């Protein structure tokens, strides 16, 4: 059966996460329903990562095995037609080898987390960023604190208690903080890159760093929290609506 890779964009707000669920809408369920409108008995699809409820994506990657030899552009157009009105879109499609896998062939995942600081409620970006009503976060302090997390560490402190990963040891390859001009306020974006992440690792890191940016913690407090290897040492977990899966890297980019 021909295998296809899809680059998928979605608004996570109306979904209970990526993974198919019996009684709740999911991104996987929406995509599989669109595939079923094209072919019968399409096997279950796989994704590079399972995003939680409310988490968005601009660069999720999924795969599907189909019976027909589709031209990739026509396949993406057909799927986008059948995905309506769900806030999900196929932004790229490619034919890939049968041994290629969206999850296991990936060599990195990239996430961005958005924080908007302003007094007034968010209107156009409601549900698309973490809204803080205090002063803008201190970028220099955030960058200093983030450097303590780079490299290979035991990230138990920043791991959900129900995380199913075999080991809490991960290598964080990038953690950069960006200031973005924003009307009537300020936006801070956190960019993180690693081969793989623990469950809730990004949101736990951002929630902890927010304490530094707000002046409640020092950058050294983040270092101490990491070294504690204790979930109780973590700061608050940032809400899901600010998190975006922005890209997945492969040895050979199927969408190049």
Residues sharing a CB contact under 8 Å with residue 181, sequence separation 6 or more, in sequence order? 187
HEC secondary structure over 103-142: CCCCCEEEEEEEEEECCCCCCCCCCCCEEECCCCCCHHHH
Q: Which residues are catalytic?
A: 52
Is residue 19 within 8 A of residue 72, CB to CB? The reply is: no
How many angstroms separate the Cα of 37 from the Cα of each of 185, 226, 235? 45, 48, 45
- Kindly tell me the sign of the dihedral angle through the C-alpha atoms of 247, 252, 254, 255: positive
Please answer whether residues 187 and 118 qualify as being in contact, where contact means their C-beta atoms are separated by less than 8 angstroms.
no
From residue 117, how far is each of 47, 138, 181, 187, 203 by CA, in Å? Answer: 33, 11, 11, 6, 17
Q: In this structure, what are the phi and psi dihedrals at residue 29, rounded to the nearest 5 degrees?
A: -60, -40
Structure tokens at 141: 């302090």
Task: Identify the burial level of 23 via C-beta atoms within 10 angstroms of its C-beta, where 0-12 means exposed, 13-18 middle and 19 or more buried.
Answer: exposed
């Amino acid at each position: 059966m021909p295998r296809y890779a899809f680059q998928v964009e979605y608004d996570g707000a109306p979904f209970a996460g990526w993974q198919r669920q019996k009684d709740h809408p999911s991104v996987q369920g929406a995509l599989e329903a669109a595939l079923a409108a094209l072919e019968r008995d399409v096997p279950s699809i796989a994704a590079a990562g399972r995003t939680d409820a409310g988490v968005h994506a601009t660069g999720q990657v999924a795969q599907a095995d189909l019976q027909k030899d589709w031209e990739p552009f026509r396949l993406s157009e057909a799927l986008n037609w059948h995905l309506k009105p769900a806030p999900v879109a196929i932004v790229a499609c490619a034919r890939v080898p049968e041994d290629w896998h969206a999850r296991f062939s990936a060599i990195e995942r990239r996430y961005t987390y958005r924080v908007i600081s302003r007094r007034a409620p968010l209107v156009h970006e409601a549900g698309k960023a973490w809204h803080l009503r205090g002063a803008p976060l201190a970028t220099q302090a955030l960058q200093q604190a983030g450097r303590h997390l780079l490299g290979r560490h035991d990230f138990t402190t920043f791991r959900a208690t129900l995380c199913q990963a075999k080991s809490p040891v991960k290598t964080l390859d990038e953690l950069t903080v960006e200031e973005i001009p924003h009307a009537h306020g300020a936006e801070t974006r956190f960019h993180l890159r690693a081969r793989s992440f623990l469950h809730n690792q990004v949101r736990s890191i951002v929630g902890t760093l927010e304490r530094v940016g707000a002046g409640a913690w020092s950058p050294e407090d983040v270092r101490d929290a990491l070294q504690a290897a204790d979930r109780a040492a973590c700061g608050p977990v940032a809400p899901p609506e600010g998190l975006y899966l922005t890209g997945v890297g492969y040895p050979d980019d199927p969408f190049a």
